[in-house]
A and B are shown apart, each in its own frame.
Chain A
Amino acid sequence: MPEVAANVPDLDAPDVVTKGGASAVYVAPAWKLTWWRFRKHKLALVSLWVVVLITAIAAMPEFFATQDPNTTSARHAFIPPQTIQFVHEGRPAMPFAYGVVGQRDPRTLRMEWAIDTEVRYPVRLFARGFEYRLLGLIPTDRHLIGFAGASGTDIPNLLGTDRLGRDQWSRLTYGTRISLSIGLVAVALSTVLGILLGGISGYFGGLVDNVIQRLIELLQALPPIPVWLALSAALPRTWPVTWVYFAITVILALLGWTRLAREVRGRFLSLREEDFVLAARLVGASRARVIFSHMVPSFTSHIIAATTLAIPLMILNETFLSFLGLGMRPPAISWGVMLQESQNLQSVVNAPWLMIPGLFVIVTVLALNILGDGLRDAADPYSS
């Protein structure tokens, strides 16, 4: 068994405990140790806050939005971003946004928008706006930010408007809800499937294991996007938004569980061979006790990390599908649906801000990936 021998630690190597005082290390529970190690990873800590913020937006997009995301106004199409300003005529000022004026180009007949420095809308925190129910429960009309003196189509568009004159920032907040939750739900489904099948595979071994492993290999060998596309193309066009939503998550989970199942199985197999599991068995612990009080605690952290790393993949996949027009469909709003507006060079050249949702995708995926890596490293007691 060369593998075993190769893993024998160098007995002469000086071992070292983690920071935090040697005496404290020995009594700290596992989750605390994980947290200590995680805290050392600065980038992961920052990512955690980014993820918290994005989750907050997903939970209450109405609060963060400044306008109704579905209000269209063809006359106000393609307004460039009216970002919040802190300087007016070279002097610092309280935060405000400029108004815009539109002029139709007589030749191309397109509206050309310009910043109007005469009109200023001061930023107000917790301002009144359209009415909604916070978290679906509390009726209110307060929003994180609002603009004094602006109403209707005058309200500054922080990230500009799209082809139909809809406010991009408000659409983004709503899109965050769908994109993030699709990722979460699809990963939750994959996790259940993955843990179930991976656990069965790893625990029983033998024929069952073989069948499941071959199935996984087969599914992994399929080019995912074409298969997803084909499956979502099969969804009836007449389905309501919520049905499509759940169908898409199921479709994503259908190919997504294999990775997690592999992970779980691998963990199960290696844990089964661990000395502490053997020791527990030798002192006469019941099968249930061995599994639930010895094996499960030592791999939940890995499952959490693996799950965190699976979410960004799902988000990217939803974006791909919706971008190609076969995922979520309007009137539903998701990052992919929004990016569909920028599908060709022409629209990107005319209105580059239509690519901003992509920035959200990148930041979210980046933060989740770094967070997942941080968690994984922290969960591994043997990493340095």
Chain B
Amino acid sequence: MQQTPTAPDAGATAPDPARRFERVGEPILSIRGLKTHFTMDEGVVRAVDGVSFDLHAGEVVGVVGESGCGKSITMKSVLRLVQKPGRIVAGEIIYRRPASGKHKALEVDLAKLPEAGRRIRQIRGGDIALIPQEPMASFSPLHSIGSQIVEAILLHQDVSKREAKEIAIEKLREVGMPSPEQRFDAYSWQLSGGLRQRAIIAMALSCNPAILVADEPTTAIDVTTQAQVLELLKQLQREHGSSIVFITHDLGVIAQLADHVVVMYLGRVMEQGPVHDIFHRPRHPYTRALLQSVPSLHAEPRIQLPTVAGSIPHPLQRPTGCPFHPRCPDAMPGRCDVAMPALYAAPGGSPVACFLHHDHEEADDG
């Protein structure tokens, strides 16, 4: 990782310039205008409010944003794991599975499937697997990790219990679990944080899913283990060419892993584009503010680290117009606080939702 001289800011760890991902063909996952709202006594929380982005086969998409920006809810919506009072109120989640082996090609709108139905259950874990935030709490304390992995395998693959156990041990070995045969019978609370996260990854990989959703998988573990887990994910991605949606608030992680970045704020996509563009030519003021707030080895020492001014508005008190305008250094009064800029891509560019770059307003649909 080296500092690219062309970087306009003194901030973030930059992505590896050698890594380029060319998007070709149809995306494996397309999210279009997704809205997930939580209806409470106090009002409606628009946790996800019109999110669109694509994931191509073999690509790593990093979804980045502050706490409460709706990035986790977006991915929970994809897996249809949003619990009441949350509900998908609009949008499409198109999943396209290419034909492979015995599986037929499939194109389905996940947002339209019944939440507890058979079809979505087959996709969960089988086609799209989750690597959750808290490895500690994501295994049941009363069941051995092996039995929980075997369960996942038996749900999606037509194998015997013994074969499932072999697959599980094989997966544990693959994620670098030392002596997987013995660890198979261990309980999650007997493992260290790093090993638990490895076990979770093994469970996610156990059914060879087409898409991995990693929901801040490194937040709850310490920094050295974090590095190991990231290294493991990179290696697995290289070997299997997995498609990964990586949710994080850590720009450093994004720089290391992602090919394509989606920047979210208050349930909306502010800007998205190839990782190099986002890091070197950020256009949205929010993206710039985020990048500046990342400490860097190369920045001038002993200066105050810039932070994003102000704080995230209360979810029930969304600002009018662009949600970022109260904190935006470049906000244009009479424009940004009145209308919401659409996520619009100029020809040849990537989409950004800001009136500094275009004049397209979001069609108001409440």
Contacts and interface: CB of A to CB of B under 8 A. Distances in A.
Question: Touching in the complex, A and B, CB below 8 A?
Answer: yes
A151 B219 CA distance: 82
A5 B137 contact: yes
A273 interface: no
Given A2-B189, A5-B137, A6-B137, A17 B220 contact: no
Give the dominant DSSP class at A's interface.
Answer: loop
Contacts of A8: 134, 220
Interface string A1-33: 010011010111111111100100000000000
Nearest to B135: A5
B70 A16 contact: no
A26 to B, nearest CB: 11
A5 B220 contact: yes
Contacts of A2: 136-137, 189
Contact of B316 (A5, A12, A13, A17): A17
A17 B137 contact: no
Interface residues of A, number: 15
Contact of A11 (B67, B136, B189, B315): B67
Interface in A21-60: 22
Given A5-B220, A17-B316, A12 B136 contact: no
Nearest to B69: A12
B316 A16 contact: yes
Interface stretch (B35-43, B156-164, B251-259, B342-350): B35-43
B136 A6 contact: yes
A15 B47 CA distance: 11
B67 A16 contact: no
A12 B42 CA distance: 19
B317 interface: yes
Nearest to A1: B136
Contact of A14 (B133, B136, B220, B315): B315
Given A2-B189, A5-B220, A11-B68, A16 B315 contact: yes
Contacts of B69: 12
A79 B137 CA distance: 66
A19 B316 CA distance: 11
Contacts of B71: 12
A177 B205 CA distance: 69
B324 to A, nearest CB: 17
A217 to B, nearest CB: 25
A13 B70 CA distance: 8
B42 A16 contact: yes
Interface in B32-86: 38, 40-42, 45, 47, 67-73
Contacts of A19: 41-42
A17 B314 contact: yes
A5 B68 contact: no
A19 B40 CA distance: 11
B70 A15 contact: no
Most buried by B among A12, A14, A17: A12
Contacts of B136: 2, 5-6
Interface in A193-225: none
Contacts of B219: 11
Interface string B311-342: 00011110000000000000000000000000
A68 to B, nearest CB: 53
B314 A12 contact: no
B315 A15 contact: yes
B38 A14 contact: yes
Contacts of B42: 16-19
A5 B40 CA distance: 27
B323 to A, nearest CB: 13
Contacts of A22: 314, 316-317
Contacts of B137: 2, 5-6
B267 to A, nearest CB: 9
Interface string A91-125: 00000000000000000000000000000000000
Contacts of B67: 11-12
Nearest to A18: B42
A23 to B, nearest CB: 10
Contacts of B41: 19
Nearest to B71: A12
Contacts of B316: 16-17, 22
Nearest to B70: A12
Interface of B: 38, 40-42, 45, 47, 67-73, 133-134, 136-137, 189, 219-220, 314-317
Closest 10 CB pairs of A and B: A12-B72, A11-B67, A14-B315, A14-B45, A6-B137, A5-B136, A2-B136, A16-B42, A14-B47, A2-B189
13 contacts: A2-B137, A2-B189, A5-B137, A6-B136, A8-B134, A8-B220, A12-B71, A13-B68, A14-B47, A16-B45, A16-B316, A17-B316, A18-B42
